[in-house]
Amino acid sequence: MFKKMSVLGGMILILGLVTASPSAFADDACVPVEKKRIKVEGYISKKFKKQRRAIFKEFSEMGNTRVALRPFPMGDTAKVVAIGRCVPAYIARHVLQTALKYTGGVENLVTQAFIAPHWFGVGVTMFDEPSQQKVTPEQVQQLLDPALSTEEFHALYRKFSVQNDTVPFFGLRSKNIKKAQ
């Protein structure tokens, strides 16, 4: 009896997954930051360890954020930033500007397809190189432009964080299997 029920349950689950639209799994609309705060997470440089309380306050000055930063165990942090698609531009600019002061800088952006919508990663090390894209200091300055609306900011971020089609692999170039669809 249990075998029949588990087979039937498995068939219903598979049927539900096959017939469900992809949009059923992805929430396209962003919840306002007043209802769901932005989580700022990652690392600051080790040399700022004693000032971390003041630095946390500086990161959260814009409001509607939860800050969870740690001193990087070995000098400067990774020069990687990840900005979720629901982070408002004014918060993203503030956190990015503050991150430039307390990390090793910003040289790579993580593709938004790999990031939670209400998340901002500072000096993060959890993303591998195929999910990142190098940026120039000029491109970072373009992101810091206060005239950009939230939509324009994220369009520019997505433009700068497009993944490469190929990646280095044992001295050769091979297809980037981690490329977001």
This prediction's pTM: 0.77
Q: Which tens digit of pLDDT belongs to each residue from 59-73?
A: 999 889 999 999 998
Give me the DSSP letters along 2-35: HHHHHHHHHHHHHHHHHHS-GGGTS--SPPPTTT
138 lies in a domain? yes
pLDDT-derived band at 42 (thresholds 50, 70, 90) equals very high
29 lies in a domain? no
> For the residues 111-131, what does the mean pLDDT come to?
91
Domain, as residue range, for 43: 38-175
Q: Which tens digit of pLDDT belongs to each residue from 13-27?
A: 444 444 443 333 445
5 lies in a domain? no
100 lies in a domain? yes
Put the strands of the sheet holding 132-134 in their side by side order.
65-71, 38-44, 119-122, 80-83, 108-110, 132-134
Number of domains present in the structure of the chain = 1
